[in-house]
Structures are given as C-alpha cells and as structure tokens.
Amino acid sequence: FSRSFSQFLSQSQLPSFGIAFDIDGVLLRGESPIGGSPQALKRLYDSSGALRIPYIFLTNGGGFPESKRALELSKLLGVDISPLQVVQGHTPFKQLVNRFENEFVVAVGKGEPAAVMAEYGFKNVLSIDEYASYFDGIDPLAQYKTWTTKQDAKQSSTLEQMRTRDSVHSQRVQATFIVSDSVDWSRDIQVLSDILRTGGLPGREIGHQPHLYFANDDLAYQATFPSERLGMGAFRIALESVFNSIHPNALEYTSFGKPNPFVFRNAETVLKQLVPSIHCGTNPVDHVNAGTHHFKKLFMIGDNPSVDIRGARQAGHPWFSILTRTGVFKGTENHTEFPADLVVNAVEDAVEYVLSKER
Ligand code: G3P
Ligand code: MG
C-alpha cells in the first residue's frame, strides 16, 4: 500500500508537460546565448541543480556526436545537460546502422561528420575530406583554396593505416550522409556528383545511384549575421539541380529533421525517457515507468515558422507551438502561413509563459 500511495503522490506531482527547444535563433546565435537563454533554462532545475522539468534540445543542426554537443551546450548555457537531451538533425541516422553497418559510406559536413557516424555504429565510414584526398585532381580548384581541413580525430588513428589509395578507389560507396552543413560547396558538389552518378566509384562509368541522406532540409537558419544564412536545404537544391543537369535520372534522396512528424514523435519518446530522472521535492522519481507517462502538453519553442512551427502543428496534440522573434522570424504579428499558438519576443518569455500556465 505504502509503495503505491507514494507512487500516486509522486505521479501527481510529476510535470504533465515537457519542452523542446530549438537551438539556432532561439537559444544561441553562433556561439552566443540570446533571449536570456541561460536564465530561462536555469528555471527548469531546482536549487540543487537537479532537473525538475523534462526538456530537450530539438535542433536540425549538428556536426558533433550528441555527447560532445551536450558538453559544449552545458558550457555555453551554464546548465548541466545530458547527451540524452540532445536531439540533432542527424540523430535519426542511428536507425540506419543495421542497413549500412559494414558498408562503405561517406559523411559530409562541418565538425566531425565521420566521428558522428562512427559513434552511431557505422564501421566503414570516411569523411568527404579524407575521401577526396585519395583522388588526385578530383577538385580542380583545390590549389586555389588556401585553408586546411582538420580531419576527424577518431578516424585517422584507427582506419588510416588500413586504407590504401587502391582500397578506397576500388570500394564502391554505398551511401552518402550529409551530416551537417557543407563547408566547401564546390568540392562537395563535385565529389558527391562523382560518387552518385558512377554508382560509388568516381572516375568510372555511369552506375546506379547510391543512397543519399540529408540530416535536414532547412533552406535558411539564423546565425550571427543579421539576416538568415543558407542552410542544408539550399545545398540540397544546388546539388540536385547540378545532378539533374548532368544525369539522365533525377536525384533520389531522403531528408530528416524538423518539420517531419516522426521527429516530433521521437521527441515525445525522449521526453518520456527523461521523466524517471526528474526530481520531485528531494528524490528522483525513479520508479515511474517512462513508457506509460502521459504528457498533457508538449511545447515546441522555435524561431523558424516553416520548420519548427509547421512541424509542431502537423504533429498535433499534445504539441503547442511558441514562436520567438530572435531568429528567422522577425515579424510583429503572427506568421501568416504557419501561425504559432503563441508569439513571444524571446525564449525567456516563452519559458515564463509555460511555467505560469502549467504550474
Ligand atoms: O544548421 C543549423 C540549422 O539548420 C538549424 O538549427 O537549432 O534552428 O534547428 P536549429
Ligand atoms: Mg532555429
């Protein structure tokens, strides 16, 4: 009796809501916190620093493993963030590991794209930086590019010795993953076109197109510059347009990230998984079954109407969308095509609203 009574008490004190925060344009611009984000997040912890409201970061960005991103976000935002709370555009690539575990795949983008894939369990992955370095002259503009690219630390030590130029040349690339924003569009569009039109063997004759996955399809996002910057969706348009002009069949690809409804369903699952670590009073409610916990409301706080707000609207109940004016959206009223349930100036106002409504 006493156990079920205490369980009833704890369950009734448990928050019946959770929050998903977009990162770029809501919490950060580049590496700088915006909209009072550190103070807003601090309100989701108790005085001892224990988490009291389930929340996650639901970003289309990426480039680093979730564990590394959690550490970086903890430093920038001044709260203790667990890797479980970090859901990035490329996080769903994890689910493709069964299909490509031992296949030769190429990972593209800023940061450490190959380390991201290796952490998900892909065993035969090269970054496009390393891959391109095995093909002399593949980028005819390389000599004019004065920057140097840092190769993924994890890759070089374990796989480098095993690989010879010949083995890379003779292995068919089975899939390409755009993990994060391409750093060098001209080189990446050239090398990806080579891989995709030849069936994964650059320099050879035309072959069946290998799989192509994008972590998101954001046309634009908010960084430090006052107006939006071109995102992965813009890179996709450029690659697709070039590919379709040089190849008889249209480019085939799959894009992940918001606004896809499965991203919001997965976000709900992850938020439920956080419930057992939530502190009610002094103790974590570790006997609560995460699977059966029921959220009455889930808040998506975002800056991009066509991505964050559209996604939350499509996901439907229990999602409630809050649009900030600190990023892509800069209007005074609501967005006309994808209106949010609430528009606020900044993330601190959004958190204030959520806590006042749901206490
Ligand atoms: O590259 C990042 C951008 O596309 C989106 O990031 O946090 O606004 O979803 P976020
Ligand atoms: Mg954003």
- Tell the residue nearest (CA) to atom 2 of ligand 1: 61
- Residue 6 tokens, joined: 């205490």
User: Is any atom of ligand 1 closer than 6 Å to the C-beta of 24?
Assistant: yes
Instruction: Check residue 290 and give its pLDDT.
Output: 63
Each residue of 237-257: pLDDT tens digit? Answer: 999 999 999 999 999 999 999
Taking alpha carbons only, the member of 182, 190, 200, 198 closest to residue 141 is 190
Identify which of 204, 218, 246 has the alpha carbon closest to the alpha carbon of residue 302.
Answer: 218
Question: 147: which residues sit within 8 A by CB, 6+ positions away?
Answer: none
224 and 117 in a common domain: yes
pLDDT in tens, 127-145: 999 999 999 999 999 999 9
CB distance 251 to 240 below 8 Å: yes
pLDDT of residue 153: 54
Helix (H, G, I), strand (E, B) or coil at 354: helix
Residue 286 has pLDDT above 80, yes or no: no
pLDDT at position 137: 97
* Claim to verify: residue 249 and residue 263 sit in the same structural domain: no
267-277 residue pLDDT tens: 999 999 999 88
| Mean pLDDT value of segment 328-340 | 97
Q: Does 259 sit in the ligand 1 pocket, CB within 6 Å? A: no
Q: Are residues 103 and 213 in the same domain?
A: yes
| Together in a domain, 193 and 98 | yes
Closest protein CA for atom 8 of ligand 1: 24
**Ligand 1 within 6 A of 60 CB?**
yes
CB-based contact 15:285 (threshold 8 Å) = no
- Residue 301 alpha carbon to ligand 2 centre in Å: 9
**Which amino acid, one-letter code, is at 121?**
G
Query: Quick check: 149 pLDDT over 70?
Result: no
**Which atom of ligand 1 is nearest to 231's Cα?**
4
200 lines ligand 1 (CB under 6 A): no
Q: Determine if the pTM surpasses 0.90.
A: yes
**Residue 281 pLDDT:** 58
CATH code of residue 316: 3.40.50.1000
- Same domain? For 272 and 242 the reply is no
Q: Which of 182, 212, 214 is nearest to 195 (CA)?
A: 212
DSSP string, 113-137: HHHHHHHHT-SSEEEHHHHHHTSTT
Domain-terminating residue out of 225, 255, 285: 255
State mean pLDDT over 221-245. Answer: 97
Q: Which atom of ligand 1 is nearest to the CA of 22?
A: 7
The atom of ligand 1 lying closest to the CA of 60 is: 9
> Chain-wide mean pLDDT for the chain?
92
Both structure tokens of 110: 């800023």
- Give the residue numbers spanning the domain of 268: 13-60+259-358
Neighbours of 208 (CB within 10 A): 11
Lowest-confidence segment of 7-21, 160-174, 210-224, 292-306 by average pLDDT: 7-21
Structure tokens at 194: 């080579």
pLDDT at 148 over 90: no
Check whether 285 has a pLDDT greater than 70.
no
Q: Do 295 and 335 reside in the same domain of the chain?
A: yes
Strand partners, 86: 57
Point out the ligand 1 atom lying closest to the alpha carbon of residue 57: 7
pLDDT value of position 326 = 98
| HSE-up of residue 157 (Cα within 13 Å, Cβ side) | 4
Query: Same structural domain for residues 168 and 268?
Result: no
